[in-house]
Amino acid sequence: MSVETQKETLGFQTEVKQLLHLMIHSLYSNKEIFLRELISNASDAVDKLRFEALSKPDLLEGGAELKIRVSFDKDAKTVTLEDNGIGMSREDVITHLGTIAKSGTADFMKNLSGDQKKDSHLIGQFGVGFYSAFIVADQVEVFSRRAGAPASEGVHWSSKGEGEFEVATLEKAERGTRIVLHLKSAEDEFADGYRLRNIIKKYSDHIALPIELPKEQAAAEGEEAPAVEWETVNRASALWTRSRTEVKDEEYQEFYKHVAHDFENPLSWSHNKVEGKLEYTSLLYVPARAPFDLYQREAPRGLKLYVQRVFVMDQAESFLPLYMRFIKGVVDSNDLSLNVSREILQKDPIIDSMKSALTKRVLDMLEKLAKNEPEQYKGFWKNFGQVMKEGPAEDFANKEKIAGLLRFASTHEESGEQVVALAEYLARAKEGQDKIYYLTGETYAQVKNSPHLEVFRKKGIEVLLLTDRIDEWLMSYLSDFDGKGFVDVARGDLDLGKLDSEEDKKAQEEIAKDKEGLIERLKAALGESVSEVRVSHRLTDSPAILAIGEADLGMQMRQILEASGQKVPDSKPIFEFNPAHPLIGKLDAEQSEERFGDLSHILFDQAALAAGDSLKDPAAYVRRLNKLLVELSV
C-alpha cells in the first residue's frame, strides 16, 4: 500500500448526517439495494469516461476495456466494487462524498418526519446512491484517481458513517474508483459469490457494460490457489436496444430505478424505436411519486442522451417541454453528432422533430393510463397535476390533448378531490348548455360555499371548482374544450344563454328597471369602492356579491403578481345585489342616508369576505357592525 500524505479529518454536512441515520434505520428491510446503487454510480462513471475520451483519447491510458468488478473476502468480511471509469480527484471526493450538492436539500430534510416508513419514500424521491453503502457496512473506504491525473494524485476516503470522514493522498496506478465495504457483523451474508451474483442479476442485468465476479474455483489439495479468473454475470447490453418482446416488466422497472435513482417502480413506461427520416430509440417513464424539487423550474431535468449507444449527457432538457420535467428515461439517436452540446441541442431542427414526437408519446402514455387505470391516474394527478397545468401555456400545439388530461374538483363531487375530466363534465351537461362553468378561489371550502354558485345549484348546473394557485393563470390559456367555451361564474355579467328561459330574461330586465333608484343610491354610498352596481341574476339566498370585470385580474392572479413584487393594475369590483333578499328590502326602505351608507358598506365588506378577499379597512367594518348591533339591542 502506498504511503498516505496530506491526511485530514473533515465533518459531514448536516444533511448527510441526517440522511445516513435515515439510511441505516429506514431502509433496513431492503438492504441489498446498496449494490444496485453502487453499480449504478460506477456505470455513470464509465459512461462519463467514454464520452470525455471521444475528444481526449489519452484519458483511456491504454485501457479501453471498460468494466465493473465486484469481489468479496469472506475472512475479512469485505465486499469490493471497482470500476475503471472517470474517477475522482481529491476535491471531487470531498464534494461528492461529504455533501449533498442538490438545490433544495434543506427543504427536503425539513420534510423528514421521523416516521421511518414515510421517510423511506422521501429517500426514494431524493436519490441516495453512495450513502446506501452504510446500510450494510460499518466502515467504507474509497480509493480513486481521476483519469488523466498522475498516479501520485490518488485519493483515499474513509468513514464509519457517523460524524466525519478522513481524506488522504496516495499513489494509485489505475484510474477509476475502488470502494471497499467493511461489513457489519450481521451482514456477512453479502461476502458470498452466489448472493452477490443473484443481486446483480436481479437489479443490474440491464447495465450496458460487463459486471464481473471472480469465477468460483477450488484449488486442488496441496496446490496454490489459482489466479483469479473473472466472469461477466450480467447481460451487458443496453436494455433500450432490445426488442420490447424480449424485455420483462421487472427489467423495465429495474432499469427505471437505475436511470431515475428512485426506489419505487414507475407508474408507466413507453419503449419505442423510430426508423425512417429520423432514427432514434426512446424509453420514457412516468414516476409513481413526485421528486422533492419538482416545483423548482430551474432544477436540472431531462432525459439521458446517448448517440449510437454512447452516453453523451445526463439531463438533456431539450427533448421534452418544461411541464414534462418529471418524465425520466433515455433517448438514443443515430442522427446526432457525438460532440453535441446543450447549445447545439437548442438550435438543431432534428431536436425539434424529436421533441414534438416524444411529447406526443408522453401524452399518449398518460391518456392510456387515465383510460385503462383510473385509480393509478388519480395518484399521478395528485403528484403531478399542478405541473401538467403549466402545459396549455407552454405547448399550444397539444393544448386540447393536455386539457383532456386535466382533472378538477366540481359541484358534482362531494369529496372535493380533483377527479373530474372535462369530457365527463360535458357528458353530464344540461341540454342546451354550451359553456363550461368554473369558479376560482383560495380554498375548496370557500368556493364550494360561494354565493356565486347559488343560481347554478338552483338550476342543477355543474361548476368546476378551481383552488390551485396556478388555476387562474391556466384558465387564461384555456379558451375552450371540444368547442365549448369556458366561463368564470364570478366574472362579468353572467349569461346562462339557453339555460335561462325567455320569461326569466324578461323578469330580470323588469326587476333591474324597477330597482334603478336603489342602484343610484348604492352607487352614491359606495362611491370609489366599486366600478358598477347592478341587480344580480346569480343569487338566490345571499344579499350581495362582488363580481370581477371581464378584463380585470382575478384575486388569485393579483396575489401571485403581488407576491412576486410586480405592480398590479388598479381595478374595482362590480357590486351585485339580490332584490328578493329581506336585507335588500330593508336597505331600500331606509330613510336615513347615514344609516343607508353604513349598511351598504357592511354588505360590501361581507361580499368581499365571502369571495375570500381581505378588507381594505377592517376597523371601519367592525365600527359599522358594532354601531348596528347597538342600535338593534336598544
DSSP letter string, 3-71: PPEEEEEEEPPHHHHHHHHHHHHHSGGGTTHHHHHHHHHHHHHHHHHHHHHHH-GGGGTT-----EEEE
More confident residue, 252 or 2: 252
Task: Tell me if 397 sits within 8 A of 477, measured CB to CB.
Answer: no
CA distance 253 to 491: 48
Closest by alpha carbon to 88, among 125, 138, 44?
44
The percentage of the chain sitting over the pLDDT mark of 70, rounded to a whole number, equals: 90
Residue 123's alpha-carbon distances to 12, 44, 105, 573, 605, in angstroms, are: 18, 20, 12, 48, 48
Could you tell me the pTM of the whole model? 0.74
Select the more confidently predicted residue: 111 or 264.
264
* Residue 460 burial class via C-beta count within 10 angstroms: exposed 0-12, middle 13-18, buried 19 and up: exposed
d(CA 534, CA 295): 42
* pLDDT one-digit tens code per residue, 31-61: 888 898 899 889 989 988 988 888 899 999 8
Q: How confident is the model at residue 536 (pLDDT cuts 50, 70, 90)?
A: confident
Beta strands 268-274 and 280-286, pairing class: antiparallel
Task: Write the DSSP symbol of residue 220.
Answer: P
Higher per-residue pLDDT: 115 or 250: 250
Beta carbons of 79 and 38 less than 8 angstroms apart: no
CB-based contact 354:319 (threshold 8 Å): yes
CB 490 within 8 A of CB 547: yes
Residue 487, beta-bridge partner list? 437
Is the separation of the CB atoms in 536 and 576 below 8 Å?
A: yes
Q: Are 598 and 583 in contact (CB under 8 A)?
A: no
pLDDT confidence of residue 125: 44
* Cα–Cα distance for residue pair 113/108, rounded to 1 Å: 11
The mean pLDDT value for 255-267 works out to 88
CA dist 129 and 238 (Å) reads 21
**Distance between CA atoms of residues 590 and 568, nearest Å:** 37
Given a cut of 70, whether residue 99 has pLDDT beyond it is no
Strand order in the sheet with 5-11: 5-11, 164-170, 154-159, 137-145, 176-183, 78-83, 68-73, 211-214, 230-232
Based on its alpha-carbon atoms, the radius of gyration of the chain, rounded to whole angstroms, reads: 33
158, three cell numbers? 474513509
Q: What is residue 124's predicted lDDT score, i.e. its pLDDT?
A: 45
Average pLDDT, the chain: 86
For 386-425, how does the pLDDT look when each residue is reduced to its tens digit (9 = 90+)? Answer: 999 999 999 999 999 999 999 999 999 888 899 999 999 9
Predicted local confidence at residue 223, as pLDDT: 65
List, in order of start, the domains of the chain with CATH numbers: 5-236 (3.30.565.10), 240-381 (3.30.230.80), 388-499 (3.40.50.11260), 502-633 (1.20.120.790)
Q: What is the pLDDT of residue 128?
A: 57
Question: Which has more confidence, 27 or 609?
Answer: 609
In b/e form, how buried is each residue of 203-220, taking b as 16+ CB within 10 angstroms? bbbbbbbbbbbeeeeeee
Distance spanning both ends of the chain, measured CA to CA: 98
Contacts of 356 (CB under 8 A, 6+ apart): 397
Confidence of residue 24 (pLDDT cuts 50, 70, 90): low
Reply yes or no on whether the pLDDT at 105 is more than 50: no
Higher pLDDT, 63 or 380: 380
**Angstrom distances, CA of residue 423 to CA of 11, 246, 384, 401, 558:** 57, 37, 20, 11, 30
CA distance 553 to 550: 9
**Residues 328, 334, 340, 345, Cα dihedral to 10°:** -60
Taking residues 316-326, what's their average pLDDT?
92
Rounded distance between C-alpha atoms, residue 283 and residue 473, angstroms: 32
